[in-house]
Each structure stands twice: as C-alpha cells, then as structure tokens.
Structure 1
Amino acid sequence: MTTTTTRTVEYPADGLTMVGHLALPAGTDRRPAVLLGPEGTGLSDVERRRADALAELGYVALAFDLHGGRYLGDPEDMLARCTPLLADPDRMRDIGHAALDVLRAEPRTDPGRIAAIGYGTGGIIGLELGRDGVDLRAIGTVNGLITGRPGEAARIRCPVWAGVGSEDPIMSPAQRQAFTEEMQAAGVDWRLTVYGGALHAFHHPPVDHIVRPGVGYHPQHARRAWHDVVALLAECLPLTEHLGA
C-alpha cells in the first residue's frame, strides 16, 4: 500500500536558511500543490500536520518557514521579528517567492495549479504573492487581513477567502473593513467568514508558552475553518480535474 511521504527542505530567504516541511501524496504523478504559511510564531508541528493532511487528500503541500528554523514562542521575540516584516511587503514577497520556488521545483508539483493558504503572517504573505501578480488558483488567509499598497490588489488573479474571529482584537473590525474594501475596489472574487465568539489564532491548539492577549483556541471554529480551507481548495484546485474525473 502506497502512503504519503514527507521530508525537510532547506532553502535561502530573508538572509536566513529556511527549513520547510514538504508533504507528498501517494503515487508518482504530478498533482496540484498548496503553499502553507504559519502564524507569526513560525513553523510548528501544527502546520506540518496540516501539510500532511493535505497530502493525504492528494495535494503536494509545502509548509514554509518564517524564521530560519526557529519557533518564536516568546511574544516579544515574535513581535521584534514580525513587526518590521509585516511593514515591508517586498520582504514578505521574497519569503513567499523563495518557498514557492521550492514548491514549483518539486517534480510532483503541477506548477500551473498552486494555491496559497496561510495563518496570520503566513496568510498575509500569501496575499502579498497575489498582490505581486503570482499565478495562483486560490488564496486563503485566516487571521491575516492586512491591506496592501494602494492599487496592487488589482493584480490578484484568483479567488480570495479570509476567515477571522469576531472577537479578534488584533484583526479589528476596522481592519477587516479596510481589507474588504480593498478587495472589492480591486474587483477580486472575495469572501470573508467571521467566526462568532472566536479570538485571534482561534484555529491553533493551546501552546505551552505565553501568548499575546486576545489569542485563544476555539475547537469548534478551528474545525470549521479547516473545512472551509478544504472547500476552497476543492472549488478552485479540484483533484477531480487533475485526475480527469
């Protein structure tokens, strides 16, 4: 019986050696692929398991790195790294492009059929790839709704789905509104799902370190958000199209 396989991949980006997690579906044929971005704390087993789950569905999946193999569990360390990063779209795009190059170079990847899914900072990087005109089939972002530079959202060439908790103080209602106005003005095919009662990073299981105020796990909405991500991929990156069904 054939099964999924995984391996660690190292590649340069942002002056660091990034350490990503590549998950491959069973078989040897080319498959549609998903670029998977983590929260600002960085790549963890949570994203690795999600990449593995996508491979089990039949996608090639790369969970990419943000911090050169480091996981920034201390909120101060995370903010020191991510605050200037989030203020610099070109740096975010460079990180995204470096990971995308790794995914495209994988022989199992169908390079014309790639989606970007991300959480927090990883989701914002996916949006920046779209704003940079990258040919993606879909962009999905949970908790990452930062608007881009004026006019650049018009370069987005695929549907965008975003999810956010109604009680998320980091992605405030005003920020959500600015994001939706940006997408609408650019003529993007966009959707926003607001998960009632959920805080920031509601999708992420509890961790054993200090977290920022306003962060909290909501298991029911976490399951729903994952189902919404899978539904986005099924619509925009269907495996049945690849398999000729």
Structure 2
Amino acid sequence: MSIKTLELISTTENGVELISYVALPEKATNDSPVPGILVAPEWWGVVDHPKSVAERLAKAGYAAVAMDVYGEGKLTTEASMANMWMEQVLADQDMLMNRCRLILNDFGDQLGVNGDNLGAIGFCFGGKVVLDMARVGMPLKAVATFHGNLAPKQAADDKFNAKVLVAHGGDDSMVSMDAVEDFKKEMDNAGADYSVDVYEGAKHGFTNPHADERAAKNDIDLGYDEKAANDSWDKMLDFMKANLG
C-alpha cells in the first residue's frame, strides 16, 4: 500500500514546538478517513525506529503519528542524554500528558484521520506514556505496549476505557515480572480488559533492530529478538483490527 508522510507541528501554550511524524495511507481522505494510532517512542525520541513503526502502520491501513513528547524534535543515541530527557518530562507528568493530549487532538483533526477511532502503541518509556494517556481518560479504544514501563502516573480507575495488550520480554532486566504483576492488579482493580504476553528469553528493547548496537554503545541490557518482535507485532495488528477495525 502506498503511503504519504508529513511533519505535524503542535505548539504548546509556552511556545514549545512538538515535531511529530505522521504516516498515512494514500487512500486516506476526508471522505474516507482511517483509524489513527499514536506511537510513543522509546526514550531516544523520534528516531528511525518509531518513524518506521508509523510507516508500517500506514502500510497496514492506519494513520499513525510518532509523537515528539520531548519537543523541538530532540533525539539521541546516548543513554545518558535519553535518561535525562525522560526524567525531565516525568518530573512534570501533567505537562507530559498535556503534550500528548495536544498531539492527539492535532492528529485527530488531520485530513484522512478518523479522530473518533484512535488507538496507541508505546515502546519502553513510550509504553508508560500511552498507558498514562488511557489512565487520565484520553479517548483511546486500544493501547498496546512493547517492553513498556508499566508504572502508573496515577492508578487506573473508571476513566480507563481502553483495551490493553502488553508484550513483555521474559528476560527484561529493566521491567521486572513483579512490575508486571503489579500492573495486572491495577488493571483488575479498574475492571480493565487486558492481556499480557511474555516472550521467553526476550530482553528489554526486543522490538528495536538497533537494540544490540545501543546496548554495546551504552553498556545497558538491551537486545533485539526478531521472533518476539515479529510475533508481538502480528498480535498487535490483530488486536488493533479487532478494536479499531
């Protein structure tokens, strides 16, 4: 399927430009809009991986946006820099959620995007971002995370309406199985519809083809796992098709 891509610039109240990356099918028009999926990247920012994810989603028939939550299009391959930026936005999670809401609204208003039929996927830090978007009641029908940080900004309650699919690596040393169990309790307490798939032997970052290179460069425990990446991607597409059409 042929696709088109563009930059989506959202400006915050204090003048920060959020430079997100949109990909959508050529066939998506105002007369025949398609469901939209927001993509929250890993802590590296809107690098090649989330852009390619948005493009893959567009080829699967969805409009997609890789969200620039850091602002000004900042990206890095240095873990220390990524960690600093991530901690800066996590220190003001209301600001982070306001930025996500702004991008969601601007994306939903794009020609060819059905703003009433939205889902979200997130990777690592981005997994936390999309779950928190659902936790604060943003209009997402379906949320999927890959090797996501599952810790809540605030615990899910009756505002949580999204269905959830979690893909977790069995050998993830950054998000423990205890954290997964805590997440399950949180979802159960909120009455949420969720499922958790554990991919045995997969490490943190298992969907990112650059994970091994980043691990070596930064001395952190990441690893690409092609089978887990492909299996979890296919399950996510089935999940989105079931919930967004």
Separation in structure 1 between the aligned mates of residue 154 and residue 75 of structure 2, nearest angstrom? 32
Q: Which runs of 5+ in 2 are unaligned?
A: none
Give the TM-score of the pair, scaled to structure 1. Answer: 0.90
Aligned position for 2:78: 74
Give the TM-score of the pair, scaled to structure 2. Answer: 0.90
Aligned position for 1:186: 190
1:173 matches 2:164: no
SS for the counterpart of 1:154 is coil
For the structure 1 residues 149 and 43, does the alpha-carbon distance in structure 2 shift closer, same or farther, using more than 3 Å as the test? Answer: closer
Query: C-alpha displacement at 1:201, in angstroms?
Result: 0.5
Contact 1:92 1:128 in 2 (8 A): no
Separation in structure 2 between the aligned mates of residue 197 and residue 205 of structure 1, nearest angstrom? 16
1:103 matches 2:107: yes
Contact 2:65 2:107 in 1 (8 A): yes
Aligned position for 2:41: 38
Aligned position for 2:23: 23
Aligned position for 1:241: none
Residues 17-66 of structure 1 deviation map (CA, whole Å, 9 limit, x = unaligned): 22211112122221111111110111112111111111112111111113
SS for the counterpart of 1:134 is coil
The one-letter amino acid of 2:140's match is: L
Q: Which moved more, 1:146-155 or 1:167-176?
A: 146-155
Separation in structure 2 between the aligned mates of residue 15 and residue 213 of structure 1, nearest angstrom? 35
Contact 2:132 2:153 in 1 (8 A): no
Query: C-alpha displacement at 1:15, in angstroms?
Result: 6.0
Instruction: Percent identity, please.
Output: 25
Contact 1:160 1:189 in 2 (8 A): yes
Q: Which moved more, 1:147-156 or 1:111-120?
A: 147-156
Aligned residue pairs total 237
Q: Give the alignment partner of residue 197 of structure 1, picking from 197, 201, 219.
A: 201
Separation in structure 2 between the aligned mates of residue 116 and residue 50 of structure 1, nearest angstrom? 12
The one-letter amino acid of 1:18's match is: L
Q: Give the alignment partner of residue 229 of structure 2, picking from 215, 222, 225.
A: 222
Query: C-alpha displacement at 1:136, in angstroms?
Result: 1.2
1:57 matches 2:60: yes
Query: C-alpha displacement at 1:190, in angstroms?
Result: 0.7
Query: C-alpha displacement at 1:71, in angstroms?
Result: 1.3
Separation in structure 2 between the aligned mates of residue 144 and residue 153 of structure 1, nearest angstrom? 20
Query: C-alpha displacement at 1:151, in angstroms?
Result: 4.4
Contact 2:119 2:143 in 1 (8 A): yes
Contact 2:69 2:96 in 1 (8 A): no
Q: Which runs of 5+ in 1 are unaligned?
A: 239-245
For the structure 1 residues 237 and 155, does the alpha-carbon distance in structure 2 shift closer, same or farther, using more than 3 Å as the test? Answer: same
SS for the counterpart of 1:133 is coil
Query: C-alpha displacement at 1:95, in angstroms?
Result: 2.4
Contact 2:125 2:149 in 1 (8 A): no
Aligned position for 1:3: 2
For the structure 1 residues 88 and 152, does the alpha-carbon distance in structure 2 shift closer, same or farther, using more than 3 Å as the test? Answer: farther
The one-letter amino acid of 2:173's match is: P
Q: State the superposition RMSD in angstroms.
A: 1.9
